[in-house]
Amino acid sequence: MELSITIECGNIKLEGRLRKNTSKKAVVICHPHPLYGGNMDNPVVMTIADSFFEKGFTTMRFNFRGTCNSTGMFDNGTGEQEDIRAALSLLTEKGYKQIWLAGYSFGARMNASLVSKGCEIKDHIMVSPPVGFMNFDDIEKMTSTGLIITGANDEIAPPGKVKGHINRWKIDPRFEIIEDCDHFYSKSLPKLKAVLIDYLS
């Protein structure tokens, strides 16, 4: 069962959902762009959460500041990184020893900013990092990144452009391109889940 939680980030209160599992492994999952309707109930975010839960993880998803019932205002990516830090800190306080970070679209971009600054996590998964829509040039390294997924027909995260960044970061993650799949994973959520379950196994 998912519990409604509040994540304190300074004077900002973020609404979140925590689904507890039996192991000491946990994941924070970040949602797509709030100015384009993205929130923690997005189907891709839910698919990521379900996949991690099935593999024994406690899952935490939350709404960035200014999204739905989270207080504050959209902060163009700066405050949103602090939101993620606050979510990670809450899991640490709850005693989780292995914390992973996963994000879809804008959420993947926000996580990338944090990971590139040396954020301590066990592993990092990016689903459709929006390299065709947002600038990633300031992301110079991407340690701890084990899996990157995009769709063959994803114009916001084009496979060739994603691969170019992977080469620039000098990392060797598992890179999965899902055939007949666009940025919104229409009719491709089962394929996405299969890739995630296989990786987490």
- We report the CATH number of the domain holding residue 188 as 3.40.50.1820
User: Which pLDDT band, with edges at 50, 70 and 90, does 80 fall under?
Assistant: very high
User: Which pLDDT band, with edges at 50, 70 and 90, does 71 fall under?
Assistant: very high
Percent of the chain with pLDDT over 90: 99
Count: domains in the chain? 1
In one-letter notation, the amino acid at residue 201 is: S
Q: What is the mean pLDDT of residues 17-41?
A: 97
Q: What is the mean pLDDT of residues 151-171?
A: 97
pLDDT tens-digit map of 100-147:
999 999 999 999 999 999 999 999 999 999 999 999 999 999 989 999
How far is residue 24's CA from residue 12's CA, in Å, rounded to a whole number?
Answer: 27
Total-model pTM: 0.98
Q: Is 160 exposed, middle or buried (0-12, 13-18, 19+ CB in 10 A)?
A: exposed
pLDDT of residue 42: 98
Contact by Cβ (8 Å): 43, 37: no
| Average pLDDT, rounded, for the chain | 97
What secondary structure does DSSP assign to 106-152, as a single string?
A: HHHHHHHHHHHTT---S-EEEES--TTTS--TT----TTEEEEEEET
The count of residues in the chain is 201
Determine the structural domain holding residue 138 and report its residue range. Answer: 2-200
Q: What is the mean pLDDT of residues 90-109?
A: 97
The two structure tokens encoding residue 116: 């590139």
pLDDT of residue 61: 98
DSSP strand pairing (12-19 vs 58-62)? antiparallel
